[in-house]
Amino acid sequence: MTSSSLAVCPKGTKLYQVSSGTLKLNKAWLTAMRDFGKMIDIPVAMYMIEHPNGLVIFDTGVNPEVAQPNDPHNYWGGVADAFFPTVTREEIIDKQVEKIGHKAEHVKYVIYSHFHLDHVGGIELFPNATHIAQKEELKTAWWPEPWQRPAFVQKDFDDARNFNYNQLEGDWDLFGDGCITIMSTPGHTQGHESVIVRLPKTGTVVLTGDAAYLPENLQGALPGIVWNPEKAMDSIEKFKWIRDRENGQVWFSHDPEQYNAHKHPPEFYE
Q: In angstroms, what is the minimal distance from the CB of 161 to Zn ion?
A: 23
CA–CA distances in Å: residue 201 to residues 10, 98, 208, 239, 249: 11, 25, 20, 20, 12
| 156 near Zn ion, rule: CB under 5 A | no
In the sheet that holds 180-184, the strands lie side by side as 172-173, 180-184, 193-199, 203-207, 249-251
User: CB of 188: closest distance to Zn ion in angstroms?
Assistant: 8
Contacts of 176 (CB under 8 A, 6+ apart): none
Return the half-sphere exposure (C-beta side, CA atoms, 13 A cut-off) of residue 24: 5
Minimum separation from the CB atom of position 113 to Zn ion (A) = 8
Site string for Zn ion, 26-45 (x = CB under 5 A): --------------------
In the complex, what is the shortest distance from the CB of residue 162 to Zn ion, in angstroms, rounded to a whole number? Answer: 26
Candidate ranges 23-31, 88-96, 150-158, 208-216; the one touching Zn ion (CB under 5 A) = 208-216
Site string for Zn ion, 94-123 (x = CB under 5 A): ------------------------x-----
Stretch binding Zn ion (CB under 5 A), from 15-23, 88-96, 206-214, 241-249: 206-214
How do strand 54-58 and strand 107-111 relate by DSSP bridges?
A: parallel
- 210 contributes a contact to Zn ion by CB under 5 A: yes
User: Nearest distance from residue 228's CB to Zn ion, in Å?
Assistant: 17
CA distances from 174 to 24, 74, 169, 198 (A): 34, 37, 14, 12
Binding site for Zn ion (CB under 5 A): 118, 210
